[in-house]
């Protein structure tokens, strides 16, 4: 991975931090994107120390804001003349409905629209750097979910679990549609389920939910185990040229039936373009 530039969102903790460290240890120039600057500085220091790689950079960004996502993309394009890997890993899970500065339901905004927008803004640079790879963190939580186009932002009825499942299904639909549109470019797009991992996901929820998490968290897998598939998809020659697939661990498996519906994928793509104001 020496000489390659890898961008990891949600890179200051959990799976993203573990993936950033692994990529840095492989010699990649690694860009860590995270919401909290102080946490990012600490993560940056740790990654540099453990990897022995000084080519690790922090770019703070609150992905809930489309203007900040656009600024992040501009900063990345200004700073790096190539992008070899984009790992869209950042995500949230919230039991209470909240909206972003753009007036969009937060789970849908952060988990789907942010990676959709960031990927689209960086796509020309990824194409110019081909062969390049886009890796999206999804979840087995997509199974049983659907894209509720009549109430996609949960304005009529909100369920944190339903919103999260919908956003993870959106990740897969986006990945598959992106892969179709990128055929022949040398840029691949894949997604994966990391497993049930000890991360900070859900820590902003009510105390009773945090208590339940604290009780069951010791039974979850370590972040390094969750990051393994992401790093594999980002770096392994075994998946060179493979695209439009959903992985569990290092193995491609079938995602839910609806995730292969191209009509749904195209409708979601067009809706996402409208919501992020892209042509």
Catalytic residues: 164
CA distance 256 to 146: 10
Q: Scanning the structure block, which residue is given the tokens 């392994």? A: 236
Residues in the chain: 279
């Amino acid at each position: 991975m020496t000489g390659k530039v890898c961008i990891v969102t949600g890179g200051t903790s959990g799976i993203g931090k573990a993936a950033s460290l692994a990529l840095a240890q492989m010699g990649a120039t690694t860009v860590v994107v995270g919401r909290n600057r102080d946490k990012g500085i600490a993560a940056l220091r740790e990654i540099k120390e453990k990897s022995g790689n000084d080519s690790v950079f922090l770019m703070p960004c609150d992905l809930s804001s489309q203007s900040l996502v656009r600024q992040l993309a501009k900063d990345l394009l200004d700073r790096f003349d190539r992008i070899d890997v984009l790992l869209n890993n950042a995500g949230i899970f919230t039991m209470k409905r909240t909206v972003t500065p753009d007036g969009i339901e937060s789970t849908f905004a952060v988990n789907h629209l942010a990676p959709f927008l960031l990927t689209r803004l960086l796509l020309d640079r990824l194409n110019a750097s081909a062969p390049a790879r886009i890796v999206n963190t999804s979840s087995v939580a997509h199974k049983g979910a659907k894209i509720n186009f009549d109430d996609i932002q949960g304005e009529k009825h909100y369920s944190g679990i339903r919103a999260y499942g919908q956003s993870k299904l959106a990740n897969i639909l986006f990945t598959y549609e992106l892969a179709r549109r990128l055929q022949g470019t040398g840029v691949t797009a894949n997604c994966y389920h990391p497993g049930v991992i000890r991360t900070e996901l859900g820590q902003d929820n009510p105390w009773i939910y945090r208590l339940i998490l604290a009780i069951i968290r010791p039974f979850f897998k370590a972040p390094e185990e969750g990051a393994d598939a992401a790093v594999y998809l980002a770096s392994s020659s075994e998946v060179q040229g493979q695209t439009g697939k959903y992985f569990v661990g290092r193995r491609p498996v079938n995602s839910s039936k609806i995730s292969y519906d191209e009509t749904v994928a195209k409708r979601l793509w067009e809706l996402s373009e409208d919501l992020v104001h892209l042509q």
